[in-house]
Structure 1
Amino acid sequence: MTWAQALLDYKNYMLIERGLSDNSVANYSLDIHKLINHLETNKISISPIKISAEILQQFIFEIAKSLNPRSQSRVISGLKSFFDYLIFEGYREHNPMEIIESPKIGRKLPDVLSLSEIDKMIVAIDLSNAQGERNRAIIETLYGCGLRVSELLDLRISDLFFKEGFIKVTGKGDKQRFVPVSSITENYITEYLQNSRNNYTIHPKASDIIFLNRRGNSLTRAMIFTIVRNLAKQAGIQKKISPHTFRHSFATHLLENGADLRAIQLMLGHESITTTEIYMHVDKSHLKQVMHSFHPRSNY
Protein backbone atom coordinates (compact mmCIF):
# COMPACT_ATOMS: atom_id res chain seq x y z
CA MET A 1 0.00 0.00 0.00
CA THR A 2 1.37 3.41 -0.98
CA TRP A 3 0.95 6.56 1.09
CA ALA A 4 -1.16 8.12 -1.67
CA GLN A 5 -3.59 5.19 -1.67
CA ALA A 6 -3.73 5.01 2.13
CA LEU A 7 -4.45 8.72 2.36
CA LEU A 8 -7.18 8.55 -0.29
CA ASP A 9 -8.86 5.62 1.47
CA TYR A 10 -8.58 7.42 4.82
CA LYS A 11 -10.21 10.55 3.39
CA ASN A 12 -13.13 8.51 2.04
CA TYR A 13 -13.48 6.77 5.41
CA MET A 14 -13.62 10.11 7.25
CA LEU A 15 -16.13 11.59 4.81
CA ILE A 16 -18.45 8.64 4.32
CA GLU A 17 -18.25 6.49 7.44
CA ARG A 18 -17.40 9.07 10.10
CA GLY A 19 -19.35 11.87 8.46
CA LEU A 20 -16.68 14.51 9.14
CA SER A 21 -16.83 17.93 7.49
CA ASP A 22 -14.58 18.91 4.59
CA ASN A 23 -12.59 21.16 6.94
CA SER A 24 -11.97 18.33 9.42
CA VAL A 25 -10.91 15.95 6.64
CA ALA A 26 -8.52 18.58 5.26
CA ASN A 27 -6.94 19.10 8.70
CA TYR A 28 -6.46 15.37 9.31
CA SER A 29 -5.02 14.95 5.80
CA LEU A 30 -2.55 17.77 6.41
CA ASP A 31 -1.01 15.82 9.28
CA ILE A 32 -0.40 12.85 6.99
CA HIS A 33 1.06 15.12 4.29
CA LYS A 34 3.56 16.49 6.82
CA LEU A 35 4.72 12.97 7.57
CA ILE A 36 4.95 12.08 3.86
CA ASN A 37 7.03 15.21 3.20
CA HIS A 38 9.35 14.29 6.07
CA LEU A 39 9.90 10.81 4.62
CA GLU A 40 10.58 12.17 1.13
CA THR A 41 12.95 14.88 2.41
CA ASN A 42 14.96 12.33 4.37
CA LYS A 43 14.80 9.75 1.54
CA ILE A 44 13.06 7.21 3.77
CA SER A 45 11.26 4.65 1.62
CA ILE A 46 8.75 2.80 3.76
CA SER A 47 5.03 2.09 3.48
CA PRO A 48 2.35 3.13 5.99
CA ILE A 49 1.99 -0.56 6.86
CA LYS A 50 5.69 -1.00 7.74
CA ILE A 51 6.61 2.38 9.25
CA SER A 52 8.01 2.05 12.77
CA ALA A 53 7.60 3.99 15.98
CA GLU A 54 11.27 5.04 15.79
CA ILE A 55 10.76 6.77 12.42
CA LEU A 56 7.63 8.46 13.72
CA GLN A 57 9.44 9.63 16.87
CA GLN A 58 12.09 11.26 14.69
CA PHE A 59 9.34 12.98 12.69
CA ILE A 60 7.71 14.33 15.86
CA PHE A 61 11.12 15.52 17.07
CA GLU A 62 11.62 17.43 13.82
CA ILE A 63 8.22 19.16 13.80
CA ALA A 64 8.65 20.09 17.48
CA LYS A 65 11.32 22.57 16.35
CA SER A 66 8.76 24.69 14.50
CA LEU A 67 5.39 23.92 16.11
CA ASN A 68 4.07 24.96 19.51
CA PRO A 69 2.93 22.23 21.95
CA ARG A 70 -0.74 22.61 21.00
CA SER A 71 0.01 22.14 17.29
CA GLN A 72 2.32 19.20 18.03
CA SER A 73 -0.45 17.59 20.04
CA ARG A 74 -2.89 18.02 17.17
CA VAL A 75 -0.49 16.36 14.69
CA ILE A 76 0.12 13.43 17.07
CA SER A 77 -3.62 12.99 17.55
CA GLY A 78 -4.16 13.07 13.77
CA LEU A 79 -1.52 10.40 13.16
CA LYS A 80 -2.92 8.18 15.90
CA SER A 81 -6.32 8.33 14.21
CA PHE A 82 -4.75 7.46 10.84
CA PHE A 83 -2.99 4.35 12.16
CA ASP A 84 -6.13 3.36 14.11
CA TYR A 85 -7.88 3.38 10.75
CA LEU A 86 -5.21 1.08 9.24
CA ILE A 87 -5.71 -1.31 12.17
CA PHE A 88 -9.49 -1.14 11.70
CA GLU A 89 -9.07 -2.09 8.04
CA GLY A 90 -6.72 -4.96 8.92
CA TYR A 91 -3.55 -3.48 7.39
CA ARG A 92 -1.68 -3.27 10.70
CA GLU A 93 -1.86 -5.03 14.06
CA HIS A 94 -0.43 -2.28 16.25
CA ASN A 95 -0.50 1.51 16.31
CA PRO A 96 3.12 2.79 16.16
CA MET A 97 1.97 6.09 17.72
CA GLU A 98 0.93 4.43 20.99
CA ILE A 99 4.28 5.01 22.71
CA ILE A 100 4.49 8.64 21.58
CA GLU A 101 3.06 11.03 24.16
CA SER A 102 1.59 14.41 23.39
CA PRO A 103 3.29 17.42 25.02
CA LYS A 104 1.65 18.75 28.15
CA ILE A 105 -0.46 21.79 27.37
CA GLY A 106 -2.66 23.93 29.54
CA ARG A 107 -6.29 24.23 28.60
CA LYS A 108 -6.69 27.59 26.89
CA LEU A 109 -9.71 29.51 28.09
CA PRO A 110 -11.62 31.30 25.34
CA ASP A 111 -11.70 35.08 25.06
CA VAL A 112 -15.10 36.56 25.81
CA LEU A 113 -16.71 39.87 24.92
CA SER A 114 -18.95 41.66 27.38
CA LEU A 115 -22.46 42.62 26.33
CA SER A 116 -21.43 46.29 26.24
CA GLU A 117 -18.53 45.46 23.90
CA ILE A 118 -20.86 43.58 21.57
CA ASP A 119 -23.27 46.52 21.62
CA LYS A 120 -20.38 48.89 20.80
CA MET A 121 -19.53 46.81 17.73
CA ILE A 122 -23.13 46.86 16.54
CA VAL A 123 -23.37 50.63 17.10
CA ALA A 124 -20.13 51.06 15.10
CA ILE A 125 -21.77 49.57 11.99
CA ASP A 126 -22.46 52.13 9.29
CA LEU A 127 -26.06 51.40 8.28
CA SER A 128 -25.83 53.88 5.41
CA ASN A 129 -23.35 51.49 3.80
CA ALA A 130 -24.83 48.93 1.42
CA GLN A 131 -23.51 46.09 3.60
CA GLY A 132 -24.45 47.68 6.94
CA GLU A 133 -27.67 45.78 7.58
CA ARG A 134 -26.01 42.53 6.53
CA ASN A 135 -23.05 43.03 8.89
CA ARG A 136 -25.37 43.90 11.78
CA ALA A 137 -27.37 40.72 11.15
CA ILE A 138 -24.14 38.69 10.95
CA ILE A 139 -22.83 39.94 14.31
CA GLU A 140 -26.18 39.48 16.02
CA THR A 141 -26.61 35.96 14.60
CA LEU A 142 -23.10 34.88 15.65
CA TYR A 143 -23.73 36.12 19.18
CA GLY A 144 -27.47 35.53 19.49
CA CYS A 145 -27.34 31.91 18.28
CA GLY A 146 -23.76 30.89 19.11
CA LEU A 147 -22.94 29.73 15.59
CA ARG A 148 -19.65 28.58 14.14
CA VAL A 149 -18.48 30.51 11.05
CA SER A 150 -19.18 27.53 8.79
CA GLU A 151 -22.71 27.30 10.20
CA LEU A 152 -23.33 30.99 9.60
CA LEU A 153 -22.11 30.77 6.00
CA ASP A 154 -24.35 27.77 5.33
CA LEU A 155 -27.45 29.29 6.96
CA ARG A 156 -30.36 29.36 4.52
CA ILE A 157 -33.67 31.17 4.25
CA SER A 158 -35.36 27.77 4.38
CA ASP A 159 -33.66 27.20 7.77
CA LEU A 160 -35.57 30.08 9.37
CA PHE A 161 -38.54 29.05 11.50
CA PHE A 162 -39.30 32.40 13.09
CA LYS A 163 -42.94 31.57 13.88
CA GLU A 164 -41.72 28.69 16.02
CA GLY A 165 -38.81 30.76 17.41
CA PHE A 166 -36.00 28.59 16.00
CA ILE A 167 -33.41 28.38 13.25
CA LYS A 168 -32.13 25.09 11.86
CA VAL A 169 -28.33 24.85 11.95
CA THR A 170 -26.18 22.36 10.06
CA GLY A 171 -23.09 21.68 12.14
CA LYS A 172 -20.04 19.42 11.98
CA GLY A 173 -20.57 16.20 10.09
CA ASP A 174 -23.79 17.63 8.60
CA LYS A 175 -25.54 17.12 11.94
CA GLN A 176 -28.56 19.37 12.30
CA ARG A 177 -29.91 21.05 15.41
CA PHE A 178 -32.54 23.66 16.19
CA VAL A 179 -31.36 26.76 18.04
CA PRO A 180 -33.75 29.26 19.66
CA VAL A 181 -33.65 32.73 18.09
CA SER A 182 -34.35 35.96 19.98
CA SER A 183 -36.64 38.70 18.68
CA ILE A 184 -33.74 41.13 18.15
CA THR A 185 -31.83 38.57 16.03
CA GLU A 186 -35.00 37.79 14.09
CA ASN A 187 -35.62 41.50 13.46
CA TYR A 188 -32.09 42.18 12.20
CA ILE A 189 -32.19 39.18 9.86
CA THR A 190 -35.64 40.13 8.57
CA GLU A 191 -34.63 43.76 7.91
CA TYR A 192 -31.57 42.60 6.00
CA LEU A 193 -33.57 40.10 3.93
CA GLN A 194 -36.33 42.55 3.09
CA ASN A 195 -34.13 45.55 2.40
CA SER A 196 -30.45 45.10 1.50
CA ARG A 197 -30.52 41.52 0.20
CA ASN A 198 -33.43 42.27 -2.13
CA ASN A 199 -31.23 44.78 -3.96
CA TYR A 200 -28.63 42.16 -4.89
CA THR A 201 -28.44 40.38 -8.22
CA ILE A 202 -28.34 36.95 -6.65
CA HIS A 203 -26.42 34.05 -8.18
CA PRO A 204 -28.81 31.10 -8.79
CA LYS A 205 -26.73 28.74 -6.63
CA ALA A 206 -26.92 31.18 -3.72
CA SER A 207 -30.66 31.90 -3.95
CA ASP A 208 -31.38 30.25 -0.57
CA ILE A 209 -28.20 31.41 1.22
CA ILE A 210 -28.90 34.20 3.71
CA PHE A 211 -25.65 36.13 3.91
CA LEU A 212 -24.28 37.18 0.52
CA ASN A 213 -21.50 39.40 -0.79
CA ARG A 214 -22.18 42.43 -2.96
CA ARG A 215 -22.04 40.25 -6.07
CA GLY A 216 -24.89 38.11 -4.82
CA ASN A 217 -22.76 35.09 -4.01
CA SER A 218 -21.79 33.26 -0.84
CA LEU A 219 -19.47 34.93 1.64
CA THR A 220 -16.16 33.32 2.60
CA ARG A 221 -14.68 32.61 6.04
CA ALA A 222 -12.01 35.24 5.38
CA MET A 223 -14.65 37.90 4.71
CA ILE A 224 -16.39 37.16 8.04
CA PHE A 225 -13.06 37.46 9.87
CA THR A 226 -12.41 40.80 8.13
CA ILE A 227 -15.86 42.15 9.02
CA VAL A 228 -15.44 41.20 12.69
CA ARG A 229 -11.92 42.59 13.07
CA ASN A 230 -12.75 45.85 11.30
CA LEU A 231 -15.78 46.40 13.53
CA ALA A 232 -13.75 45.62 16.66
CA LYS A 233 -11.19 48.21 15.61
CA GLN A 234 -13.89 50.82 14.89
CA ALA A 235 -15.49 50.13 18.29
CA GLY A 236 -12.13 50.59 20.05
CA ILE A 237 -11.99 47.04 21.38
CA GLN A 238 -8.40 46.02 22.14
CA LYS A 239 -9.03 42.30 22.58
CA LYS A 240 -7.85 39.94 19.85
CA ILE A 241 -11.15 38.56 18.65
CA SER A 242 -12.49 36.39 15.84
CA PRO A 243 -15.98 35.28 14.77
CA HIS A 244 -15.63 32.37 17.21
CA THR A 245 -15.38 34.86 20.09
CA PHE A 246 -19.12 35.50 19.75
CA ARG A 247 -19.81 31.78 20.17
CA HIS A 248 -17.73 31.77 23.37
CA SER A 249 -19.55 34.89 24.57
CA PHE A 250 -22.94 33.32 23.81
CA ALA A 251 -22.15 30.27 25.97
CA THR A 252 -20.52 32.24 28.79
CA HIS A 253 -23.36 34.74 29.08
CA LEU A 254 -25.94 31.94 29.14
CA LEU A 255 -24.04 30.22 31.95
CA GLU A 256 -23.66 33.44 33.91
CA ASN A 257 -27.39 34.02 33.73
CA GLY A 258 -28.34 30.59 35.02
CA ALA A 259 -28.60 28.30 31.98
CA ASP A 260 -27.69 24.68 32.68
CA LEU A 261 -24.73 23.11 30.94
CA ARG A 262 -26.77 20.47 29.14
CA ALA A 263 -28.95 23.12 27.44
CA ILE A 264 -25.84 25.05 26.36
CA GLN A 265 -24.33 21.83 24.99
CA LEU A 266 -27.42 21.22 22.83
CA MET A 267 -27.48 24.79 21.51
CA LEU A 268 -23.76 24.75 20.66
CA GLY A 269 -23.98 21.32 19.04
CA HIS A 270 -21.18 19.82 21.15
CA GLU A 271 -21.06 16.01 20.97
CA SER A 272 -19.51 15.75 24.42
CA ILE A 273 -20.44 17.67 27.57
CA THR A 274 -16.71 17.87 28.40
CA THR A 275 -16.26 20.30 25.49
CA THR A 276 -18.94 22.55 26.95
CA GLU A 277 -17.47 22.33 30.45
CA ILE A 278 -14.66 24.72 29.51
CA TYR A 279 -17.16 27.54 30.06
CA MET A 280 -17.39 26.55 33.72
CA HIS A 281 -13.84 27.90 34.08
CA VAL A 282 -14.38 31.24 32.36
CA ASP A 283 -16.21 33.09 35.10
CA LYS A 284 -15.50 32.03 38.68
CA SER A 285 -17.94 34.64 40.07
CA HIS A 286 -20.84 32.65 38.62
CA LEU A 287 -19.68 29.52 40.43
CA LYS A 288 -19.45 31.40 43.73
CA GLN A 289 -22.97 32.75 43.21
CA VAL A 290 -24.30 29.23 42.63
CA MET A 291 -22.50 28.02 45.77
CA HIS A 292 -23.92 30.79 47.95
CA SER A 293 -27.41 30.40 46.51
CA PHE A 294 -27.83 26.66 46.68
CA HIS A 295 -25.42 25.07 49.19
CA PRO A 296 -27.05 24.49 52.61
CA ARG A 297 -23.95 25.72 54.45
CA SER A 298 -24.16 29.14 52.79
CA ASN A 299 -26.79 30.29 55.31
CA TYR A 300 -24.51 29.71 58.32
Structure 2
Amino acid sequence: MKWDNAKKDFKRYLQLERNLSANSIDAYLNDVQKLEAYCDYRSINLPQVDTKTVQQFLVFINDFNISPFTQARLLSGLKTFFAFLQIEYDWKKNPAELLESPRLSRKIPSVLNIQEIDALIQAIDLSANEGTRNKTILEVLYGCGLRVSELVGLKISNLFLDVEFIKVQGKGNKERLIPIGKQAIKHLKIYLQEVRPLSPIKPGCEDFVFLNRRGASLSRVMVFLIIKDLAKKIGLTKPISPHTFRHSFASHLVEGGADLRAVQDMLGHESITTTEIYTHVDRDYLQSVITHYHPRS
Protein backbone atom coordinates (compact mmCIF):
# COMPACT_ATOMS: atom_id res chain seq x y z
CA MET A 1 0.00 0.00 0.00
CA LYS A 2 1.37 3.41 -0.98
CA TRP A 3 0.66 6.86 0.43
CA ASP A 4 -0.63 8.29 -2.87
CA ASN A 5 -3.23 5.56 -3.33
CA ALA A 6 -4.33 5.75 0.30
CA LYS A 7 -4.69 9.56 0.15
CA LYS A 8 -6.62 9.39 -3.11
CA ASP A 9 -9.10 6.86 -1.70
CA PHE A 10 -9.29 8.78 1.61
CA LYS A 11 -10.19 11.98 -0.27
CA ARG A 12 -12.93 10.16 -2.17
CA TYR A 13 -14.27 8.77 1.12
CA LEU A 14 -14.37 12.26 2.69
CA GLN A 15 -16.14 13.67 -0.37
CA LEU A 16 -18.72 10.96 -1.02
CA GLU A 17 -19.37 9.28 2.31
CA ARG A 18 -18.62 12.06 4.81
CA ASN A 19 -19.87 14.83 2.48
CA LEU A 20 -17.30 17.28 3.88
CA SER A 21 -16.55 20.72 2.47
CA ALA A 22 -13.47 21.34 0.33
CA ASN A 23 -11.77 23.19 3.21
CA SER A 24 -12.33 20.31 5.65
CA ILE A 25 -11.04 17.77 3.12
CA ASP A 26 -7.90 19.85 2.55
CA ALA A 27 -7.32 20.00 6.32
CA TYR A 28 -7.55 16.19 6.65
CA LEU A 29 -5.23 15.62 3.71
CA ASN A 30 -2.71 18.15 5.06
CA ASP A 31 -2.61 16.20 8.32
CA VAL A 32 -1.85 12.99 6.45
CA GLN A 33 0.77 14.71 4.28
CA LYS A 34 2.61 15.95 7.37
CA LEU A 35 2.85 12.39 8.67
CA GLU A 36 3.89 11.17 5.22
CA ALA A 37 6.73 13.73 5.06
CA TYR A 38 7.95 12.64 8.50
CA CYS A 39 7.83 8.95 7.51
CA ASP A 40 9.70 9.65 4.26
CA TYR A 41 12.41 11.39 6.27
CA ARG A 42 12.63 8.36 8.60
CA SER A 43 12.41 5.88 5.67
CA ILE A 44 9.17 4.40 7.05
CA ASN A 45 6.65 2.98 4.58
CA LEU A 46 2.92 3.35 5.21
CA PRO A 47 2.34 -0.33 6.20
CA GLN A 48 5.12 0.05 8.81
CA VAL A 49 3.46 2.95 10.64
CA ASP A 50 2.59 1.92 14.21
CA THR A 51 1.66 3.68 17.44
CA LYS A 52 5.31 4.40 18.24
CA THR A 53 5.75 6.07 14.84
CA VAL A 54 2.75 8.34 15.41
CA GLN A 55 3.95 9.17 18.95
CA GLN A 56 7.40 10.13 17.66
CA PHE A 57 5.79 12.21 14.90
CA LEU A 58 3.72 14.14 17.46
CA VAL A 59 6.84 14.79 19.56
CA PHE A 60 8.61 16.01 16.41
CA ILE A 61 5.69 18.34 15.57
CA ASN A 62 5.60 19.68 19.13
CA ASP A 63 9.14 21.01 18.74
CA PHE A 64 7.75 23.57 16.27
CA ASN A 65 5.71 25.21 19.06
CA ILE A 66 2.40 24.24 17.48
CA SER A 67 -0.58 25.13 19.66
CA PRO A 68 -2.43 22.40 21.59
CA PHE A 69 -5.53 23.08 19.47
CA THR A 70 -3.59 22.39 16.26
CA GLN A 71 -2.02 19.25 17.77
CA ALA A 72 -5.44 17.98 18.83
CA ARG A 73 -6.91 18.62 15.38
CA LEU A 74 -3.91 16.92 13.74
CA LEU A 75 -4.27 13.80 15.90
CA SER A 76 -8.02 13.71 15.21
CA GLY A 77 -7.32 13.84 11.47
CA LEU A 78 -4.85 10.95 11.69
CA LYS A 79 -7.30 8.87 13.73
CA THR A 80 -9.89 9.36 11.00
CA PHE A 81 -7.37 8.43 8.29
CA PHE A 82 -6.30 5.18 9.97
CA ALA A 83 -9.91 4.30 10.82
CA PHE A 84 -10.62 4.62 7.08
CA LEU A 85 -7.67 2.32 6.30
CA GLN A 86 -9.12 -0.26 8.70
CA ILE A 87 -12.37 -0.25 6.71
CA GLU A 88 -10.96 0.07 3.20
CA TYR A 89 -7.73 -1.94 3.43
CA ASP A 90 -8.44 -4.26 6.39
CA TRP A 91 -5.76 -2.44 8.41
CA LYS A 92 -5.45 -4.52 11.58
CA LYS A 93 -5.00 -1.71 14.10
CA ASN A 94 -5.48 2.06 14.25
CA PRO A 95 -2.05 3.25 15.49
CA ALA A 96 -3.49 6.59 16.63
CA GLU A 97 -6.60 5.26 18.35
CA LEU A 98 -5.30 5.11 21.93
CA LEU A 99 -3.23 8.28 21.80
CA GLU A 100 -4.62 11.12 23.93
CA SER A 101 -5.02 14.66 22.68
CA PRO A 102 -3.42 17.51 24.66
CA ARG A 103 -5.66 19.12 27.26
CA LEU A 104 -7.43 22.13 25.84
CA SER A 105 -8.62 25.11 27.82
CA ARG A 106 -11.91 26.73 26.89
CA LYS A 107 -10.84 29.94 25.19
CA ILE A 108 -13.24 32.86 25.53
CA PRO A 109 -13.69 34.36 22.05
CA SER A 110 -12.96 38.02 21.46
CA VAL A 111 -16.18 40.00 20.97
CA LEU A 112 -17.08 43.55 20.03
CA ASN A 113 -19.50 45.69 21.98
CA ILE A 114 -22.27 47.51 20.15
CA GLN A 115 -20.36 50.82 20.28
CA GLU A 116 -17.36 49.23 18.53
CA ILE A 117 -19.60 47.66 15.89
CA ASP A 118 -21.30 51.01 15.27
CA ALA A 119 -17.90 52.73 15.02
CA LEU A 120 -16.69 50.22 12.42
CA ILE A 121 -19.83 50.65 10.31
CA GLN A 122 -19.73 54.45 10.58
CA ALA A 123 -16.10 54.44 9.39
CA ILE A 124 -17.14 53.08 5.99
CA ASP A 125 -16.88 55.53 3.12
CA LEU A 126 -20.33 55.45 1.52
CA SER A 127 -19.33 57.74 -1.34
CA ALA A 128 -18.03 54.70 -3.25
CA ASN A 129 -20.13 51.75 -4.43
CA GLU A 130 -17.86 49.44 -2.45
CA GLY A 131 -18.86 51.36 0.66
CA THR A 132 -22.52 50.38 0.40
CA ARG A 133 -21.48 46.78 -0.26
CA ASN A 134 -19.09 46.77 2.70
CA LYS A 135 -21.71 48.21 5.04
CA THR A 136 -24.13 45.49 3.94
CA ILE A 137 -21.46 42.86 4.58
CA LEU A 138 -20.97 44.01 8.17
CA GLU A 139 -24.71 44.28 8.80
CA VAL A 140 -25.26 40.73 7.53
CA LEU A 141 -22.26 39.29 9.40
CA TYR A 142 -23.39 40.77 12.68
CA GLY A 143 -27.14 40.48 12.04
CA CYS A 144 -27.06 36.76 11.17
CA GLY A 145 -23.89 35.42 12.80
CA LEU A 146 -22.57 33.95 9.55
CA ARG A 147 -19.22 32.29 8.98
CA VAL A 148 -17.23 34.19 6.35
CA SER A 149 -17.53 31.20 3.98
CA GLU A 150 -21.32 31.35 4.37
CA LEU A 151 -21.29 35.08 3.66
CA VAL A 152 -19.27 34.91 0.43
CA GLY A 153 -21.33 31.91 -0.70
CA LEU A 154 -24.66 33.62 0.01
CA LYS A 155 -26.96 33.53 -3.02
CA ILE A 156 -29.79 35.81 -4.10
CA SER A 157 -32.02 32.76 -4.65
CA ASN A 158 -31.60 31.91 -0.94
CA LEU A 159 -32.79 35.30 0.33
CA PHE A 160 -36.36 35.22 1.64
CA LEU A 161 -36.50 38.80 2.83
CA ASP A 162 -40.29 39.02 2.75
CA VAL A 163 -40.45 36.47 5.58
CA GLU A 164 -37.15 37.66 7.13
CA PHE A 165 -35.11 34.49 6.59
CA ILE A 166 -32.04 33.53 4.59
CA LYS A 167 -30.70 30.07 3.72
CA VAL A 168 -26.97 29.38 3.97
CA GLN A 169 -24.71 26.42 3.32
CA GLY A 170 -22.59 25.71 6.37
CA LYS A 171 -19.96 23.16 7.33
CA GLY A 172 -20.30 19.78 5.65
CA ASN A 173 -22.55 21.40 3.02
CA LYS A 174 -25.39 21.42 5.54
CA GLU A 175 -28.08 23.99 4.81
CA ARG A 176 -29.91 25.94 7.50
CA LEU A 177 -32.42 28.77 7.71
CA ILE A 178 -31.45 31.84 9.70
CA PRO A 179 -33.68 34.77 10.69
CA ILE A 180 -32.44 38.14 9.46
CA GLY A 181 -33.20 41.43 11.15
CA LYS A 182 -34.79 44.51 9.63
CA GLN A 183 -31.54 46.53 9.65
CA ALA A 184 -29.69 43.90 7.61
CA ILE A 185 -32.70 43.54 5.29
CA LYS A 186 -32.78 47.30 4.72
CA HIS A 187 -29.12 47.44 3.64
CA LEU A 188 -29.37 44.26 1.56
CA LYS A 189 -32.23 45.76 -0.43
CA ILE A 190 -30.32 49.01 -1.00
CA TYR A 191 -27.24 47.12 -2.18
CA LEU A 192 -29.16 44.68 -4.41
CA GLN A 193 -31.41 47.31 -5.98
CA GLU A 194 -29.12 50.32 -6.29
CA VAL A 195 -25.46 49.20 -6.27
CA ARG A 196 -25.07 45.60 -7.40
CA PRO A 197 -26.79 46.19 -10.81
CA LEU A 198 -23.99 48.67 -11.62
CA SER A 199 -21.31 45.96 -11.31
CA PRO A 200 -20.12 43.77 -14.19
CA ILE A 201 -21.05 40.15 -13.52
CA LYS A 202 -18.88 37.23 -14.58
CA PRO A 203 -20.57 34.13 -16.01
CA GLY A 204 -21.45 31.75 -13.19
CA CYS A 205 -21.59 34.51 -10.56
CA GLU A 206 -25.07 35.84 -11.36
CA ASP A 207 -26.62 34.38 -8.19
CA PHE A 208 -23.95 35.44 -5.68
CA VAL A 209 -25.00 38.35 -3.46
CA PHE A 210 -21.59 39.95 -2.93
CA LEU A 211 -19.35 40.68 -5.91
CA ASN A 212 -15.92 42.26 -6.27
CA ARG A 213 -15.05 45.02 -8.73
CA ARG A 214 -14.53 42.52 -11.53
CA GLY A 215 -17.93 40.92 -11.05
CA ALA A 216 -16.72 37.71 -9.42
CA SER A 217 -17.87 36.38 -6.07
CA LEU A 218 -16.12 38.00 -3.14
CA SER A 219 -13.25 36.07 -1.52
CA ARG A 220 -12.86 35.36 2.20
CA VAL A 221 -9.52 37.15 2.18
CA MET A 222 -11.13 40.32 0.82
CA VAL A 223 -13.72 40.33 3.64
CA PHE A 224 -10.88 39.92 6.15
CA LEU A 225 -8.98 42.87 4.62
CA ILE A 226 -12.07 45.09 4.60
CA ILE A 227 -12.59 44.53 8.32
CA LYS A 228 -8.89 44.93 9.16
CA ASP A 229 -8.77 48.27 7.33
CA LEU A 230 -11.83 49.53 9.19
CA ALA A 231 -10.37 48.46 12.54
CA LYS A 232 -7.18 50.35 11.75
CA LYS A 233 -9.21 53.37 10.70
CA ILE A 234 -10.96 53.67 14.09
CA GLY A 235 -7.89 52.67 16.12
CA LEU A 236 -9.34 49.38 17.35
CA THR A 237 -6.53 47.40 18.97
CA LYS A 238 -8.26 44.14 19.93
CA PRO A 239 -7.87 41.16 17.55
CA ILE A 240 -10.60 41.25 14.91
CA SER A 241 -11.65 39.15 11.94
CA PRO A 242 -14.93 38.31 10.16
CA HIS A 243 -15.46 35.61 12.80
CA THR A 244 -15.43 38.29 15.53
CA PHE A 245 -18.83 39.46 14.26
CA ARG A 246 -20.15 35.89 14.58
CA HIS A 247 -18.85 35.71 18.16
CA SER A 248 -20.40 39.10 18.92
CA PHE A 249 -23.75 38.04 17.43
CA ALA A 250 -23.90 34.93 19.63
CA SER A 251 -22.55 36.59 22.76
CA HIS A 252 -25.01 39.50 22.57
CA LEU A 253 -27.94 37.13 22.06
CA VAL A 254 -26.99 34.96 25.03
CA GLU A 255 -26.31 37.95 27.28
CA GLY A 256 -29.69 39.35 26.26
CA GLY A 257 -31.42 36.17 27.47
CA ALA A 258 -31.82 34.21 24.21
CA ASP A 259 -32.42 30.48 24.48
CA LEU A 260 -29.15 28.59 24.00
CA ARG A 261 -30.77 25.98 21.74
CA ALA A 262 -32.06 28.71 19.44
CA VAL A 263 -28.58 30.26 19.26
CA GLN A 264 -27.14 26.82 18.52
CA ASP A 265 -29.52 26.38 15.58
CA MET A 266 -28.75 29.83 14.19
CA LEU A 267 -24.99 29.26 14.41
CA GLY A 268 -25.22 25.76 12.95
CA HIS A 269 -23.35 24.11 15.83
CA GLU A 270 -23.67 20.33 15.95
CA SER A 271 -23.10 20.24 19.71
CA ILE A 272 -24.64 22.50 22.36
CA THR A 273 -21.29 22.46 24.20
CA THR A 274 -19.78 24.55 21.39
CA THR A 275 -22.48 27.17 21.91
CA GLU A 276 -22.11 27.14 25.70
CA ILE A 277 -18.88 29.10 25.47
CA TYR A 278 -21.03 32.19 24.83
CA THR A 279 -22.57 31.92 28.28
CA HIS A 280 -19.55 33.79 29.63
CA VAL A 281 -20.49 37.12 31.23
CA ASP A 282 -18.70 40.34 30.47
CA ARG A 283 -16.40 41.40 33.32
CA ASP A 284 -17.71 44.96 33.18
CA TYR A 285 -21.24 43.63 33.61
CA LEU A 286 -20.18 41.58 36.63
CA GLN A 287 -18.51 44.63 38.13
CA SER A 288 -21.65 46.70 37.58
CA VAL A 289 -23.74 44.04 39.36
CA ILE A 290 -21.44 44.23 42.39
CA THR A 291 -21.47 48.03 42.33
CA HIS A 292 -25.22 48.35 42.12
CA TYR A 293 -26.43 45.50 44.32
CA HIS A 294 -23.82 44.56 46.93
CA PRO A 295 -24.34 46.41 50.26
CA ARG A 296 -20.63 46.90 50.83
CA SER A 297 -19.88 48.40 47.39
Give the TM-score taking structure 1 as reference length: 0.92
What is the identity, as a one-letter code, of the residue corresponding to 1:186?
I
Displacement of 1:253 in angstroms is 0.4
Give the Cα separation in 2 of the matches to 1:106 and 1:228: 28
What is the aligned partner in structure 2 of residue 2 from structure 1? 2
Mapped partners of 1:286, 1:167: distance in 2: 33
Provide, for residues 34-93 of structure 1, a one-character-per-residue CA deviation record: whole Å limited to 9, x for no partner. 01111112222x22x441111111111111011222211111111111111222335223
Range that drifts further, 31-40 or 275-284 = 275-284
**2:55 counterpart of 1:57:** yes
Which residue of 2 is the match for residue 38 of structure 1? 38
Task: State, as a whole percentage, how many aligned pairs show the same letter.
Answer: 51
Per the alignment, residue 101 of structure 1 pairs with 100
* Contact 1:169-1:177 within 8 A present in 2 as well: yes
Q: In the alignment, residue 205 of structure 2 is paired with which amino acid?
A: A
Whether the 8 Å contact between 2:255 and 2:281 is mirrored in structure 1 is no
Measure how far apart 1:139 and its partner are. Answer: 0.6
CA distance in 2, matches of 1:193, 1:120: 24
Map of 1:272 onto structure 2? 271
Write the deviation string for residues 215-248 of structure 1: whole angstroms up to 9, x where unpaired: 1111111101100111111122111110000000
* SS of alignment partner, residue 169 of structure 1: strand
Contact 1:265–1:276 under 8 Å retained in 2: yes
CA distance in 1, matches of 2:281, 2:59: 34
Change (3 A) 1:281 1:61: same
Pairwise CA distance, 1:272 = 1.2
Aligned position for 1:251:
250
Q: Distance in 2 between matches of 1:179 and 1:288?
A: 34
Q: Is the 8 A contact 1:110 1:282 kept in 2?
A: no
Q: Classify 1:288/1:87 alpha carbon distance in 2 versus 1 (closer, same or farther; 3 Å).
A: farther
Deviations 1:100-151 (A, max 9, x none): 2222221211100001100000000000022000000001111100000110
Equivalent pairs, count: 288
Gap regions ≥5 residues in structure 2: 289-297
Q: Detail structure 1 runs of 4+ shifted over 4 Å in the superposition.
A: 284-289
RMSD: 1.9
Question: Cα distance 1:170–1:286, how it changes in 2: closer, same or farther (>3 A)?
Answer: farther
Q: Is the 8 A contact 1:167 1:178 kept in 2?
A: yes
Q: Residues 113-262 of structure 1 correspond to what in structure 2 (within 5 A)?
A: 113-262=112-261
Contact map agreement 1:150 1:221 (CA 8 A) in 2? yes
> How far 1:287 sits from its partner (Å)?
9.4
Equivalent-residue separation in structure 2 for 1:42 and 1:12 (angstroms): 28
TM-score by length of 2: 0.92
Q: 1:172 to 1:288 in 2, by over 3 A?
A: farther
